[in-house]
Amino acid sequence: MKFIDEVNITIASGRGGGGCVSFRRESLLPRGGPDGGDGGKGGDVIIRTSRHINSLVDIRQNKRYAARSGQPGSGANCSGQNGEDLELIVPEGTIVRNAEGEIIVDLTGIKEHVLLKGGRGGKGNTFFKNSINQAPDYAQPGEEGEELEIKLELKLIADVGIIGFPNAGKSTLISRISAAKPKIADYPFTTLTPNLGVVKLGDYSSFVVADIPGLVKGAHEGVGLGIQFLKHIERTRLFIHLVDASGMSGRDPMQDYVDINYELKMYDENNVEKEGFFPLSTRPQLVVLNKIDALSEDQLSKLKANFKKATGTEPFAISAVTGKNLKEFVTELGRHILAEEEQ
Ligand SMILES: Nc1nc2c(ncn2[C@@H]2O[C@H](COP(=O)(O)OP(=O)(O)OP(=O)(O)O)[C@@H](O)[C@H]2O)c(=O)[nH]1
Ligand SMILES: [Mg+2]
């Protein structure tokens, strides 16, 4: 299964500035020669890649992206200013296609590519002066810019995988921290295929979270939906291990946590021979207790203490429904991802 982020936009390069028709007029030179300057060049549309961006969310903010036009030339042989280029910054690996679906450029290992050239600036009348015509009274108009509909495509690679029992609130969580709109319902196995969401961290960075169908005890033997979806999060840097803390399921939260980790271990055993396989059971996990809105303070602190004893670190405690502690959690998650990246 592929996760593709797609954005359709129209891009336009700037038109060139017109050349100028002008003649020198100085008090001692009543009939001066031509001095109309050239128009400036229109801006190009350039696409550049950045390692700090990993989705196309920002590009989606506009439908049309246009570079600036060149300024017209003026008298005294002044050239018009060139129009500013327009830069689209996208993640590495973005593919640009035209409206017919043909690839214009695949930005894998490519830092920048000029998608559209700006129009040339028109020549001013100075340019047309020659021995026959000493005083041309015409100039060239600027060249038109170009316009193109393009489709940007990016194969998303998840940074974080959310694991947990069915109904733990995985889809609710992803819907609260990203723009993803997965189906959420009060029964197990609501999610049948993985969902991806892009989580924004401040203005310049983001990361991708994958919500996969829930695991149950015996998943490695095919119970429930089985563990085939774990392959979608094999490449993630870390897991959010989401535990339903409410007890509404009738199961014990700590036992759920142990059972899921056991399934990861079994998955590893079954895949250890696979080329390039990264074991899942040793992947860093952020243990997150969800649905704390359904617990009393006392119940929660007992549960936290139990988890701290078992894992060595304090678990996060959130409510994906009320939003309690979500902001702090996203910040912390971002910090962990950066830390993993730097390793
Ligand atoms: N009280 C409470 N209910 C929650 C919370 N988060 C999720 N739920 C509810 O739990 C149920 C399951 O939520 P989902 O997000 O569909 O759970 P899931 O883990 O994606 O489930 P599957 O897709 O079946 O694996 C829904 O009825 C949610 O409204 C929470 O923080 N508090
Ligand atoms: Mg779900």
Listed by start position, the domains of the chain span: 1-156, 160-342
3-state helix, strand, coil in the chain (%, to 5): 25, 25, 50
Q: What local confidence, expressed as pLDDT, does residue 121 receive?
A: 97
Of 167, 248, 290, best ligand 1 pocket probe by most atoms within 8 Å of the beta carbon: 167
Q: Which atom of ligand 1 is nearest to the CA of 213?
A: 25
Residue nearest to atom 3 of ligand 1 (CA): 291
Neighbours of 219 (CB within 10 A): 25
Of 177, 178, 184, best ligand 1 pocket probe by most atoms within 8 Å of the beta carbon: 184
21: CA distance to ligand 2 center in Å?
68
- CA dist 193 and 182 (Å) reads 10
173: CA distance to ligand 1 center in Å?
8
Dihedral sign for Cα atoms in the order 202, 208, 213, 215 = negative
Q: Which atom of ligand 1 is nearest to the CA of 188?
A: 24
What pLDDT, in 10s, does the model give residues 137-187? 999 999 999 999 999 988 777 889 999 999 999 999 999 998 778 878 787
- Write out residues with Cβ below 6 Å of ligand 1: 164, 166-172, 184-186, 188-191, 213-214, 290-291, 293-294, 319-321
Q: Which atom of ligand 1 is nearest to the CA of 214?
A: 25
Residue nearest to atom 8 of ligand 1 (CA): 169
Q: Which residue in 218, 158, 221 sits closest to 194, CA to CA?
A: 158
Ligand nearest to the CA of 165: 1
Q: Which atom of ligand 1 is nearest to the CA of 168?
A: 19
302: CA distance to ligand 1 center in Å?
22
Q: Which atom of ligand 1 is nearest to the CA of 164?
A: 19
Helices within the chain (DSSP H only): 170-177, 253-271, 297-311, 326-342
277: CA distance to ligand 1 center in Å?
31
- CA dist 143 and 221 (Å) reads 67
166: CA distance to ligand 1 center in Å?
8
Dihedral sign for Cα atoms in the order 40, 44, 48, 54 = positive
Instruction: Please state, in angstroms and as integers, the Cα–Cα distance from residue 342 to each residue in 207, 209, 219, 289, 335, following that order.
Output: 15, 19, 33, 27, 11
Q: What local confidence, expressed as pLDDT, does residue 30 receive?
A: 66
Residue nearest to atom 24 of ligand 1 (CA): 189
173: CA distance to ligand 2 center in Å?
9
User: Can 1-156 and 160-342 be said to share one CATH topology?
Assistant: no
Q: What local confidence, expressed as pLDDT, does residue 272 receive?
A: 86
Q: Chain-centre distance of CA 38, in angstroms?
A: 41
Residue nearest to atom 7 of ligand 1 (CA): 169
- CA dist 89 and 248 (Å) reads 46
Segments of the chain with pLDDT less than 50? 1-2
Q: Which atom of ligand 1 is nearest to the CA of 162?
A: 19
**160-342 topology per CATH:** Rossmann fold (3.40.50)
- CA dist 298 and 282 (Å) reads 32
Q: What local confidence, expressed as pLDDT, does residue 1 receive?
A: 38
Q: Which two tokens stand for residue 318?
A: 């959130």
Class (C level, CATH) for 1-156 = mainly beta
Ligand nearest to the CA of 317: 1
Q: What local confidence, expressed as pLDDT, does residue 2 receive?
A: 46
Dihedral sign for Cα atoms in the order 99, 8, 182, 271 = positive
Q: Which amino acid appears at position 109 of this protein?
A: G
Q: Chain-centre distance of CA 146, in angstroms?
A: 27
Residue nearest to atom 1 of ligand 1 (CA): 291
Of 170, 172, 192, best ligand 1 pocket probe by most atoms within 8 Å of the beta carbon: 172
Using DSSP's 3-state secondary structure scheme, residue 332 falls into helix
